[in-house]
Structure formats: C-alpha cells, structure tokens
Amino acid sequence: MSLRETNDALKYSHLGISYAVVLGGSFFLGSKADEKFGTSPYMALCGGMFGAVAGFWYLYREVYGKRDEAERGSPEKPKRQDDNGSPPAKNA
C-alpha cells in the first residue's frame, strides 16, 4: 500500500469510528435511562434509533459537505494585517 493510499484510508477511517461511538453512546445512555426510570427496553431503543439517525447525518454531512465544498471552492479567508487581527493604523 502506497503512502497516498494509506493517507486516504486514514482520512476516512474516522467516519466509521465516529458512527460506532455515536450509536453505542446513544444506546448506552438510553439503557441507563431505562435503569433509572424502569422503562426497559424503550429508552434504549429510542437511544439506538437516535444514535443511528445522528450517525448517518454526521456521515452524510462529512462526505457530501466536503464534496460540495470542493466543487464550489472554499472561500479564502482575509489575511490578517497584524498580530491581533486589526487593520494597521492610518498615518495622518
């Protein structure tokens, strides 16, 4: 595997990890809510569904948002004039 292929793989590997963390975390929080309120398994299921939707939304935004940004071209940020970002003082 070349260095470029490795970089591409690492660039997008966070997407799967992020999805798993969001889904697992939401399910975990739902199961803890079930323990507290005695509503088993409803809060865990709601947490899992919320995690799945939130995870897919994050994946969609990361993949298609970056593609759309690349197609449009990201706007350039204005260059700073001095260390604190304010324009230089005018000489009278």
pTM: 0.65
- Write out residues in the chain with pLDDT < 50, as ranges: none
To the nearest 10°, report the CA torsion of 88, 89, 90, 91: -120
Burial of 67 (0-12, 13-18, 19+ CB in 10 A): exposed
54 and 22 Cβ atoms separated by less than 8 Å: yes
Which residues have a Cβ under 8 Å from the Cβ of 9 and sit 6 or more positions away?
Answer: 1
> Which pLDDT does position 65 carry in this prediction?
85
Distance CA 9, CA 5 (A): 6
* Encoded tokens for 83: 């260390």
> Which pLDDT does position 2 carry in this prediction?
83
Ordered by start, the domain boundaries in the chain are 10-72
